[in-house]
Structure 1
């Protein structure tokens, strides 16, 4: 029986690239997204199905898992990829915006994991791969809410790494750096700072740095991350963390070997924060 992966957030970016990558590697793929009826690129065949899944809707999560198992017989890997980024000063974010960031990036992941666990435990095998970010290991200006949701997912994943080993279940984290996707477009929620003009100059300066060619020159591609995800899914190791991308490795090298103080000082200097 071929191995099967369920991918959340497969409509674009890393999720879509991963669905394609695993399909090319002769895996069965359950590609899920909020509106599969709008998908024009991924095509269903005997090894790929499209299913609706909204991580904020527990019924849709349950249905996707059940239909996927019924269709392919089992699921071997759950890839929790669906997510988005909230950007802006804390006080500019509404309660709804801040809570939704956690609902999608953390609680939605928890719901997906809880739904798949009985199946994995019954099979005494399975791999959970959570997409966090280098931003789950360090924070950048204006991304405190987004980064904190990824910090939380890092902690959850590390805890599950211990808790699920007795059941033969592996837990992995893939930590991309900057990726050339539309994440900064449709997958980004920028807080409205019109009521907080004191942040205008600061925010403008930060955004200009984030969007400069200098900052993005080391960004990776969704396909590169997909290859790292494939390694995590197939290397049969107990490795927890997989950095993905040149910039992610550079950021982490500085923080690990020279300490957070120097790393934060360099970030502050780059973004011109006084």
Structure 2
């Protein structure tokens, strides 16, 4: 019997690519999104169920999981992919948007995971793949809130992995960096443009934008399809490995964070990403 994966956030980006990747390999796929009417290309595929799941709506989570089990009999893998990123200076960001950043990127993951755990425990098996970010390993200017949500997701995932191993469930974390074929950058730009401007930060923001432009110019971005390959590998490799760095562009920053001293890491990061401000 084909195995079944439930993936959140399949309207675009990593989620959409992962849904196609699993389906291409004969899996049953539950491709969930807030607006399932936009998932026509996935819905047209055999073995793919497109259904509504909004991670901020607990009732939709329960309904989607029940619908998936009714359609395919069981779920073998959960991919927590749904997320978005706030971009901008912390002080300029309204509290309501901060709350939503955590509601989607962290509490949504927790709610979907909690809802599926009874099903996984009943089978004494299951794999949970949480899509994190390089920004969950190292922090960059202008994404303090996004980074905070992903740092929290990393800690949650690691701690949860110890708990769930006792009942036969494996937790994985996939860490992508800069990717060309996703709307993340567009959405972040919209978020930054809607923030209340505090003029004192203008020199810093200009410097930070120059830093990001330099980082983008100097790297070879991966695609969502390549990240989907890593998600699939994490879900199916049969190991207890926790973390998977999904794109080569962030490997130097990850190594600096994980393989050097704190002083060396901070010196490396300040030289590389700290904005150059006018004297």
TM-score for both structures, normalised by structure 1:
0.94
Secondary structure (helix, strand or coil) at the match of 1:26 reads coil
Provide the C-alpha distance between the structure 2 equivalents of 1:92 and 1:136, rounded to a whole number of angstroms.
22
How far apart are 1:220 and its partner, in Å?
Answer: 1.3
Structure 1 gaps of 5+ residues are none
How far apart are 1:40 and its partner, in Å?
Answer: 3.9
Query: Retained in 2: the 8 A contact 1:89–1:191?
Result: no
Provide the C-alpha distance between the structure 2 equivalents of 1:193 and 1:67, rounded to a whole number of angstroms.
39
Find the partner of 2:203 among 194, 201, 204. Answer: 201
How far apart are 1:36 and its partner, in Å?
Answer: 1.1
1:213/1:158 Cα in 2 relative to 1: closer, same or farther (>3 Å)?
closer
Provide the C-alpha distance between the structure 1 equivalents of 2:67 and 2:217, rounded to a whole number of angstroms.
42
197-206 or 164-173, larger mean C-alpha shift = 197-206
Task: Identify the residue that residue 62 of structure 1 maps to in structure 2.
Answer: 62
Query: Retained in 2: the 8 A contact 1:18–1:226?
Result: yes
Pair 1:174-2:174 in alignment? yes
Query: Retained in 1: the 8 A contact 2:30–2:51?
Result: yes
Provide the C-alpha distance between the structure 2 equivalents of 1:211 and 1:9, rounded to a whole number of angstroms.
28
1:214/1:166 Cα in 2 relative to 1: closer, same or farther (>3 Å)?
closer
Task: Identify the residue that residue 154 of structure 2 maps to in structure 1.
Answer: 154
Task: Identify the residue that residue 263 of structure 1 maps to in structure 2.
Answer: 265
Task: Identify the residue that residue 77 of structure 2 maps to in structure 1.
Answer: 77
Structure number with the higher helix fraction is 2
Pair 1:243-2:245 in alignment? yes
How far apart are 1:205 and its partner, in Å?
Answer: 2.3
Provide the C-alpha distance between the structure 2 equivalents of 1:191 and 1:93, rounded to a whole number of angstroms.
11
1:163/1:209 Cα in 2 relative to 1: closer, same or farther (>3 Å)?
same
Task: Identify the residue that residue 184 of structure 1 maps to in structure 2.
Answer: 185
Structure 2 gaps of 5+ residues are none
- The 5-angstrom pairing of residues 1-274 of structure 1 reads 1-180=1-180, 181-186=182-187, 189-190=191-192, 192-212=194-214, 214-215=216-217, 217-271=219-273, 272-273=275-276
Provide the C-alpha distance between the structure 1 equivalents of 2:213 and 2:269, rounded to a whole number of angstroms.
15
Query: Retained in 1: the 8 A contact 2:18–2:225?
Result: yes
Q: What is the CA deviation profile of residues 81-137 of structure 1, one whole-angstrom value per residue up to 9, with x for unaligned ones?
A: 000001111111111011110000000000000100000000110000000111111
1:176/1:214 Cα in 2 relative to 1: closer, same or farther (>3 Å)?
closer
Provide the C-alpha distance between the structure 2 equivalents of 1:40 and 1:46, rounded to a whole number of angstroms.
12
How far apart are 1:215 and its partner, in Å?
Answer: 4.4
How far apart are 1:254 and its partner, in Å?
Answer: 2.0
RMSD: 1.7
Provide the C-alpha distance between the structure 1 equivalents of 2:215 and 2:147, rounded to a whole number of angstroms.
22
Provide the C-alpha distance between the structure 1 equivalents of 2:29 and 2:266, rounded to a whole number of angstroms.
40
Provide the C-alpha distance between the structure 1 equivalents of 2:262 and 2:222, rounded to a whole number of angstroms.
24
Query: Retained in 1: the 8 A contact 2:55–2:108?
Result: yes
How far apart are 1:60 and its partner, in Å?
Answer: 0.6
After TM superposition, which residue ranges in structure 1, 4 or more long, deviate above 4 angstroms? Answer: 191-194, 212-216
Query: Retained in 2: the 8 A contact 1:176–1:245?
Result: yes
Query: Retained in 1: the 8 A contact 2:121–2:169?
Result: yes
Secondary structure (helix, strand or coil) at the match of 1:226 reads helix
Q: How many pairs does the alignment contain?
A: 274
How far apart are 1:241 and its partner, in Å?
Answer: 0.6
Secondary structure (helix, strand or coil) at the match of 2:173 reads strand
